[in-house]
A and B are shown apart, each in its own frame.
Chain A
Amino acid sequence: GQQVMQIPQYQHVQEGEDFTTYCNSSTTLSNIQWYKQRPGGHPVFLIQLVKSGEVKKQKRLTFQFGEAKKNSSLHITATQTTDVGTYFCFSTDSWGKLQFGAGTQVVVTP
């Protein structure tokens, strides 16, 4: 069955640095969403990618969907303390299976 792997599980970043988190699937995905969860909070929707090779930007965040629609990435430039939290990818495959990745926990040090 579909397995969605998210890496890294943990990311320690200095303020001002860039980092990337990846979401990889063993099967082709219909679409992929990214969510952010602040410590003690609930997941909040960030973006949805549907098309092969799609790239979307939100200020310092860049989201990409792979050409084969089997992987996705979230790149954050010039990390700020407000970026602290856990970032999850959420995918649906052609069979309708819904799955969250395990998340990347981001810690930012000033």
Chain B
Amino acid sequence: NAGVTQTPKFQVLKTGQSMTLQCAQDMNHEYMSWYRQDPGMGLRLIHYSVGAGITDQGEVPNGYNVSRSTTEDFPLRLLSAAPSQTSVYFCASAPSTTGVFHEQYFGPGTRLTVT
């Protein structure tokens, strides 16, 4: 199993550009999520999904869109990049969220710089 994969590893955007960060998992996990990590602020939840066709907002959703058309994939779209979106982005997945929340498996991250 590859686990959770993310592409690209690094990306530089100009303000106003759009792009999609890709995330895929091969563990048949129902739960997938996107976090951003900024120095001194830990990981903040952007969007999450409890299954195909279901998405919801996290703590910091503004400026980002997601969709979940399959169990495996959960892309994150930046609609119009801003310097405040410069961050490291992690995708994570977990087994069913029914009952106790299970351990999350994280991808290697995407380091995004917006100039």
Query: Is residue A85 within 8 Å, beta carbon to beta carbon, of the partner chain?
Result: no
Q: Are B42 and A88 in contact (CB under 8 A)?
A: yes
Q: Are A44 and B106 in contact (CB under 8 A)?
A: yes
* Docked pose: A14 CA to B37 CA in angstroms: 27
Question: What bracket does the count of chain A residues touching chain B fall in?
Answer: 20 to 34
Q: Quick one: which of B36-54 are within 8 Å of A by CB?
A: 40-45, 48
Query: Is residue A62 within 8 Å, beta carbon to beta carbon, of the partner chain?
Result: no
Chain B contact residue count (CB 8 A cutoff)? 23
Q: Are A102 and B101 in contact (CB under 8 A)?
A: no
* Docked pose: A48 CA to B103 CA in angstroms: 7
Q: Which residue of A lies closest to B35 (CB)?
A: A100
Query: Is residue A92 within 8 Å, beta carbon to beta carbon, of the partner chain?
Result: yes
How many inter-chain contacts with C-beta < 8 Å in the A-B complex? 50
Query: Is residue B64 within 8 Å, beta carbon to beta carbon, of the partner chain?
Result: no
Query: Is residue B90 within 8 Å, beta carbon to beta carbon, of the partner chain?
Result: yes
Q: Are A31 and B101 in contact (CB under 8 A)?
A: yes
Given contacts A100-B42, A100-B43, A103-B42, are A42 and B100 in contact (CB under 8 A)? no
Pairs A–B under 8 Å by Cβ, sample size 16: A9-B40, A35-B104, A41-B108, A42-B90, A42-B109, A43-B43, A43-B92, A43-B106, A44-B106, A48-B100, A48-B103, A92-B101, A98-B45, A99-B45, A100-B45, A102-B42
